[in-house]
A and B are shown apart, each in its own frame.
Chain A
Amino acid sequence: GAVVSQHPSRVICKSGTSVKIECRSLDFQATTMFWYRQFPKQSLMLMATSNEGSKATYEQGVEKDKFLINHASLTLSTLTVTSAHPEDSSFYICSARALQGEYGELFFGEGSRLTVL
């Protein structure tokens, strides 16, 4: 199947710093990518929908100025957690849609675990 790569897989940062997470579709082009957040033993919560060449659409309750999303190309979307605080510590996962006929299929990255000290 198609591959979605996330980097870094783990990151530890100090409170107040910014962290950038990359999501790449390695063998297909993705016009749409999704960013999720997952707390321990909980389900995936959609944060935002990233569309290539346009502004991301954020879910209710997600601060767009804190979680900056850029989808500059058909194979790369980035999530920047600005001025990170300990409560931002979480597992962040991206997914990308491979264009296949009418439906396509969503592929998930391996996730990025952020720990803010």
Chain B
Amino acid sequence: GENVEQHPSTLSVQEGDSAVIKCTYSDSASNYFPWYKQELGKGPQLIIDIRSNVGEKKDQRIAVTLNKTAKHFSLHITETQPEDSAVYFCAASKGNAGNMLTFGGGTRLMVKP
């Protein structure tokens, strides 16, 4: 089955700096890669996703890149703010979003004011 590795497990940055979280996946058939933000005691919230037919997607301060050949994808957050502090999860699945997601281990991001 699919295996998703996520690094780093914790990341501390100064407000205004950029943060990068990286994930690798094992199943070359995976073609949908969402990123979720989870705040303490809450469910995950989708922040951005990318499908295998594109290499990069951007939404304001958040961007995701995908390298299908290397089977890795990354989340980039620019101009970080304290409210970006949360746990971020990457995930991968095959087919459409209705299929099973395999999650990475999560990254705890701390943005210091």
List the B side residues contacting A104 at CB < 8 Å.
96-98
A6 touches B43 (CB 8 A): yes
Q: Which of under 10, 10 to 19, 20 to 34, or 35 or more describes the interface residues of B?
A: 20 to 34
Q: Could you say which of A43, A111, A113 contacts B89, with CB atoms under 8 Å apart?
A: A43
A46 touches B46 (CB 8 A): no
Contact A103/B96 with A43-B89, A108-B36 known, Cβ cut-off 8 Å? yes
Q: Could you say which of B42, B45, B51, B103 contacts A103, with CB atoms under 8 Å apart?
A: B51
List the A side residues contacting B106 at CB < 8 Å.
41-43
> How many chain-A residues does the 8 Å CB contact rule pick out?
28
Q: A96 CA to B103 CA in the complex, in Å?
A: 16
B9 to chain A, nearest CB (A): 9
Encoded as 1 (CB less than 8 Å from any A CB) or 0, chain B from 46 to 71 comes to: 10010100000000000000000000
The 9 closest A-B pairs by CB, nearest first: A108-B43, A97-B98, A103-B96, A111-B43, A110-B43, A104-B97, A43-B103, A108-B44, A44-B103
